Amino acid sequence: AQSVTQPDIHITVSEGASLELRCNYSYGATPYLFWYVQSPGQGLQLLLKYFSGDTLVQGIKGFEAEFKRSQSSFNLRKPSVHWSDAAEYFCAVGAPDSWGKLQFGAGTQVVVTP
């Protein structure tokens, strides 16, 4: 069974600084990988996803993520954070041989300071 770990529960970053959120997965083959964002009081919104091909994936809101097979990682990055990026971020893993069931990480809470 697949699993996903987000090692950082909470990250504080200054506005304008860069951001990197870590995600590690456990799966026998290359899984489908997703990053979702949850703003306060809202449902989740997809930022980006990876299935195959180019290992650097561009998403919405200026986010990108890089798949590294050797490290079983799919880290999310943004070069310059805006105050509106304060939210909780979830990495999710799906097995290619499944119907679409996702395993979500515990989430990383991002706080943006002025």
Partner 1 sequence: NAGVTQTPKFRILKIGQSMTLQCTQDMNHNYMYWYRQDPGMGLKLIYYSVGAGITDKGEVPNGYNVSRSTTEDFPLRLELAAPSQTSVYFCASSREGRTDTQYFGPGTRLTVL
Which residues are near partner 1 by CB under 8 A? 9, 32, 41-46, 49, 51, 90, 94, 96, 98-102, 104-107
Give the C-alpha separation, 69 to 81, whole Å. 27
Q: Which is nearer to partner 1, 16 or 96 (CB)?
A: 96
CB of 103 to partner 1, least distance (A): 8
Give the C-alpha separation, 94 to 37, whole Å. 17
- Both tokens of 4, joined, read 């996903």
CB of 56 to partner 1, least distance (A): 18
Asked if 11 and 19 touch (Cβ cutoff 8 Å), the reply is yes
CB of 109 to partner 1, least distance (A): 10
DSSP string, 41-98: TS-EEEEEEE-SS-SEEE-GGG-EEEEEGGGTEEEEEESS--GGG-EEEEEEEE-TTS
CB of 13 to partner 1, least distance (A): 20
Q: Which is nearer to partner 1, 14 or 42 (CB)?
A: 42
Q: Which is nearer to partner 1, 15 or 95 (CB)?
A: 95
Q: Which is nearer to partner 1, 28 or 41 (CB)?
A: 41
